[in-house]
Structure 1
Amino acid sequence: MNQTITGRIKASTAWADPNRYGRSDRSATGRWFWEIDRVLLFMLALLIGFGLIAVAAASPAVAQRYSGGSVRIDELYYFYRQIAWIALSMPVMIAISMQPRERLKRLSLIGAMICLVALALVPWLGTEVNGAKRWFNLGVGLFQPSEFLKPFFVVSMAWLLSLKETDKSLPIFTFSAGIIGIVAILLMRQPDFGSTIIFAAVWIAMLAIAGLNMRILIGLGIAGIIGVVLAYFFYDVATQRIDAFIFGAGDNFQTENAMRTLTAGGLFGMGPGAGTRKFGLPEPHTDYIFSVIGEEFGLIACLMIALLYLGIVARVLIKLLDEESSFAILAAAGLVIQFGLQALINMAVNVQIAPSKGMTLPFISYGGSSMLALSIAMGLLLAFTRRNPYLSRSPYVVKWGGENLRG
């Protein structure tokens, strides 16, 4: 009897045999290939490919905008630079996705602390762009601490909230509220009201996933509404954006022009390189690249991209339904919610249902700092959704060929 059970268990784990089923590579790379969510990886690669095409379409408009006098910029200058940033960022994403969860937890805690310090120094040492100090000029490009803080913040917060399982007496909620308060103050000093909203929204979503009392969540929602109202009265950036959006006061040209550009191509677009309205957009390669896609490739292409974002979010959330680690659930859910929320806000601005926030479209917009930060975030997401496809989520059950073997 024991020999029979032993033989069946050996058969069930035969996938590890280097001479069977073509899985001869037992290195870290080989294990990564079989454990990674290849569907999710494919969707991310597809999104990056769409982004490269979109940057190529927007690049001539940006080059013309910043060319002047003796300074002439090649029409595809930003396209070539985006290729370089992708070539740098993709190995980073893959390398991070190959790391074990515990190591990524420690690295994220260190990264969060470094980024918080950098965020605090931006108002004094940062470079001002379009009236905001959010970047450090590193010579080869601009470094935006808040973009890199986003993934590290989520993973660090996931670790903090998961501690509640081991000791329910820990003041986790109070401590996490203090951290998000510090982050919000530092962001609003830049000013960066849009990122402040994203950080706060992701924090509340993670609290809900962690099982925080519903009354407290409702209270946080009410506090958030009160916060936006107070920001309107006492925070100039919020006042200007909300007035322009709701009352049409001030300069509302950007969002109106973006909407006209988005719909100019109809369902199928004017064709690659045939768009003309993009030359009137203020930031066609970053904030308003979704409108460029609409003009040149049509509303159907815009819908496909929106569905791709939705598919990525849905894929991760469904995959987490049978995950057992509360830390992994919180980290992966927080990362994908943050990713989807940023995409939603950018698209909402382009279709004129949200005020302008200066927020990029993930993996579509041009930007070295943004591309590298997103690659880190998605590398973490891929790592936290990795699993052995031949083992069930129960530690006592081994699945092979539809048969369960219990030890």
Structure 2
Amino acid sequence: MTEMVFGAEGAPSAEREPIVPRWWRTVDRWTLSAVLVLFLLGLLLGLAASPPLAARNGLDPFHYVTRQAVFGVVGLAAMLIVSMWEPRALRRWATIGFGLTFLAVLLLPVLGTDFGKGATRWYSLGFASIQPSEFLKPVFVVFAAWLMTGSMARGGPPGKSLSFGLAVAVAASLALQPDFGQASLILAAWGLMYFVAGAPMLLLVSLAGAVVATGIFAYNNSEHFARRIDGYLDPVVDPTTQIGYATAAIREGGFLGVGVGEGLVKWRLPDAHTDFIIAVAAEEYGLLLVLVIIGLFAFITLRALFRLSRERDAFIRLAGTGLAALFAMQSVINMGVAVRLLPAKGMTLPFVSYGGSSLLATGVSLGMLIAFTRTRPQDDLGDALGLGGRHG
């Protein structure tokens, strides 16, 4: 079944070609360039947002931006390495990675810490911390795509049902932290993949209703969740809250911003360098830079989906769609929270916000996406003959 799903090995001539030249010939260089620009913009905004936090903690002014640069370079390196892997290698490692990261999430209530933020999401390593849910998301998507694809083969396992059970289990474990934002991302990505795999609309509507019912239950039984929803629904925004400071900064920035280094929101928000980095961009550089950032996220996502739309391998198409959805939805949620379109989620802006786990996990996730969207000569031959492509 594995060979039916993932195809036979490539032609011997392709196998003998060195990895790096073959990667450079087949990789989407426009996407690589857009990701690099996003990272550089993240460093630029880090230079503006992190010195106040460093001053409050008695550290060197560029302590956090230096760490962001180091983690970002490691994340970019991980992205490049993973993007060179073939789909079957990605599937194998994602399966192992899912088992390890899911176990790490399950052990958080026992071994994790909340760093005083009310949600146990991290493991403290002393010199740094790690958030396993960031790494769980991309490997879950790839593993779920493999399960769904396996169910398409005659006599294959009930992969769609198994993937649904795993999605519910993962979302529930995240909600217990509580981390409803990441749980919502997992369910939304799975739902989109299931839709692409050919799920009936009635089933998807039923699942959406179940999610709403779960949200109502969480509102009535979780003070953390209810507090965030109440704050979002309150028509009057307290100007001394994080959302109040962020929305005021965005208004003050206008089209061109108040000027580099002149912004005030970075002195008022403890999470200006992470969850509310877009507010810093809007205040100091204005709407113009915000539109550039939005354009980069849209470009990476739409370009990936366009390339995947021509993909004939079901596993690659499903996994790539799920990864693109994760990337796009997380960016929308982060920016939507800053302008009060969505309730506060505590979610970083991929490759822009400060955060070691976020930068590394985003690098791995984008590396997988780039690997799945690489050009494969078999596709062109299959199109010419009217046959399905084969992928090694």
What is the TM-score with the length of structure 1 in the denominator?
0.87
CA distance in 2, matches of 1:222, 1:131: 28
Identity rate of aligned residues, in percent? Answer: 38
CA distance in 2, matches of 1:272, 1:188: 39
Q: Is 2:162 aligned against 1:171?
A: no
Residue in 2 aligned with 1:326? 314
Residue in 2 aligned with 1:133? 120
CA distance in 2, matches of 1:156, 1:174: 13
Q: Is 2:135 aligned against 1:144?
A: no
Question: Alpha-carbon deviation of 1:263?
Answer: 2.1
Question: Alpha-carbon deviation of 1:208?
Answer: 0.3
CA distance in 2, matches of 1:397, 1:86: 43
Counterpart mapping for 1:350-365 below 5 A: 350-365=338-353
Q: Which amino acid aligns with 1:333?
A: T
Instruction: Between 388-397 and 350-359, report the one with greater CA deviation.
Output: 388-397
Counterpart mapping for 1:298-317 below 5 A: 298-317=286-305
Residue ranges of structure 1 left out of the alignment (5+ in a row): 1-15, 18-24, 399-407
State whether residues 147 and 160 of structure 2, in contact with CA within 8 Å, keep that contact through their aligned partners in structure 1: no
Counterpart mapping for 1:348-387 below 5 A: 348-387=336-375
Instruction: Between 154-163 and 178-187, report the one with greater CA deviation.
Output: 178-187
Residue in 1 aligned with 2:61? 75
Q: Which amino acid aligns with 1:62?
A: L
State whether residues 48 and 363 of structure 1, in contact with CA within 8 Å, keep that contact through their aligned partners in structure 2: yes
Instruction: Between 29-38 and 121-130, report the one with greater CA deviation.
Output: 121-130
CA distance in 2, matches of 1:347, 1:393: 42
Q: Which amino acid aligns with 2:66?
A: Y
CA distance in 1, matches of 2:99, 2:369: 20
CA distance in 2, matches of 1:92, 1:313: 19
Residue in 2 aligned with 1:247? 234
Question: Alpha-carbon deviation of 1:249?
Answer: 8.6
Question: Alpha-carbon deviation of 1:308?
Answer: 1.3
Secondary structure at the residue paired with 2:258?
Answer: coil
Question: Per-residue displacement from partner, 1:131-171 (whole Å, max 9, x unpaired)?
Answer: 21111112331111100001100000110111122036743
Question: Alpha-carbon deviation of 1:397?
Answer: 4.9
Question: Alpha-carbon deviation of 1:87?
Answer: 2.1
Residue in 1 aligned with 2:4? none
State whether residues 50 and 364 of structure 1, in contact with CA within 8 Å, keep that contact through their aligned partners in structure 2: yes
Residue in 1 aligned with 2:390? none
Question: Alpha-carbon deviation of 1:390?
Answer: 9.0
The match for 1:201 among 177, 184, 188 is 188
Residue in 1 aligned with 2:275? 287
Secondary structure at the residue paired with 2:123?
Answer: strand
Secondary structure at the residue paired with 1:243?
Answer: helix
Q: Which amino acid aligns with 1:158?
A: A
Question: Alpha-carbon deviation of 1:250?
Answer: 10
What is the TM-score with the length of structure 2 in the denominator?
0.90
State whether residues 263 and 299 of structure 1, in contact with CA within 8 Å, keep that contact through their aligned partners in structure 2: no
Question: Per-residue displacement from partner, 1:314-372 (whole Å, max 9, x unpaired)?
Answer: 10111112100000000111001011000000000000111111100011100111100
Residue in 2 aligned with 1:274? 262
Q: Is 2:218 aligned against 1:223?
A: no
CA distance in 2, matches of 1:164, 1:393: 27
In the superposition, relative to structure 1, how do residues 159 and 391 fare at CA in structure 2: closer, same or farther (>3 Å)? closer
CA distance in 1, matches of 2:85, 2:72: 20
CA distance in 1, matches of 2:135, 2:166: 16
Q: Is 2:91 aligned against 1:100?
A: no
Residue ranges of structure 2 left out of the alignment (5+ in a row): 1-12, 387-392
Question: Alpha-carbon deviation of 1:307?
Answer: 1.6
Instruction: Between 55-64 and 321-330, report the one with greater CA deviation.
Output: 55-64
